[in-house]
Amino acid sequence: MVQATMEGSQEAVARCVATVIRSRRSVRAFKPEPLRRELVEEILGDAATAPSGANIQPWRVYVVSGAVKDELANALVAACRAGTASPPAHFPEPLPDVFRARLSDFGARYYGSLGIDRDDTAARMHQTEQNFSFFGAPVGLIISIDRRLKPHSWVDIGLFAQNLMIAAKARGIETCPQVSFAPFHDLIAAHLQMPSEEVTAFGISMGYGDPQARVNQTRMPRERVQDFARLFGFPA
């Protein structure tokens, strides 16, 4: 009986966790409603339980809100317009076809949700700029890492970020992870007084989402499990 009850509650926990994980989306329009500092600290505390190789915990996080966020955002938007950062090269060229196809599908869905035409460079640029004002979110996070670390430590900061986004989502708070900040490391480092050994990995916008915004209606598809995983040794 006790066992059955425990199994029952285990199922409820699994459903609840899956619901939170599966309902997270990259949200790109936020309500201006602020987030309390204690809430942000709670979410960061949950995120910090992420595993890391040898528990080195390589994540460093700069959280900006209010006037500090606005100043950083203004400087980033200006730098983006002036084209002062090196062009974002987040993917290798040529990008293998399988990834190129998904990238194109992403672009069609994202810009399509905003009614932005494929060839409308000005509108696309304007939308790209929204990254730098944290899509109107009340809180921005810049995640940095010690530049001397190797790629596997970058995995750790990804796990930290996913924990953070799920911990936020569980509290009704939305996020958008953004690599767009990386090319603007020098500007960001100067604003946030980062030590020289750190490098900006990515940023995250965080706040209450605007469910009415068209851009937030987009749903990005996923490959099916049988298409990306191969399972061995299980009974047929």
- Helix spans in 116-183 (H): 121-130, 151-170
- The least distance separating ligand FMN from the CB of residue 28, rounded to whole angstroms, comes to 6
Q: Is 99 in the site for ligand FMN (CB under 6 A)?
A: no
- The least distance separating ligand FMN from the CB of residue 197, rounded to whole angstroms, comes to 22
- The least distance separating ligand FMN from the CB of residue 236, rounded to whole angstroms, comes to 33
Residue 115: what are its φ and ψ, rounded to 5°? Answer: 70, 25
What length does the chain have? 236
**Nearest of 126, 141, 122 to residue 215 by alpha carbon:** 126
Is 155 or 192 the residue whose CB approaches ligand FMN more closely?
Answer: 155
Which residues, numbered 23-52, are part of the site for ligand FMN (CB under 6 A)? 25-26, 28
Is 188 or 196 the residue whose CB approaches ligand FMN more closely?
Answer: 188
**Which one of residues 133, 144, 153, 180 is an interface residue with ligand FMN (CB under 6 A)?**
180
Q: Is the dihedral of CA 4, 6, 12, 14 positive or negative?
A: negative
Which residues, numbered 192-231, are part of the site for ligand FMN (CB under 6 A)? 202, 220
Q: Is 124 in the site for ligand FMN (CB under 6 A)?
A: no
Q: Is 144 in the site for ligand FMN (CB under 6 A)?
A: no
Retrieve residue 191's tokens. 């604003």
Is 12 or 101 the residue whose CB approaches ligand FMN more closely?
Answer: 101
3-state helix, strand, coil in the chain (%, to 5): 55, 15, 30
Whether omega before 94 lies within 30 degrees of 0, making that bond cis, reads yes
User: Tokens 């992420």 map to which residue?
Assistant: 50
Q: Which residues of the shown chain bind ligand FMN in the complex (CB under 6 A)?
A: 25-26, 28, 106, 131, 176-180, 202, 220
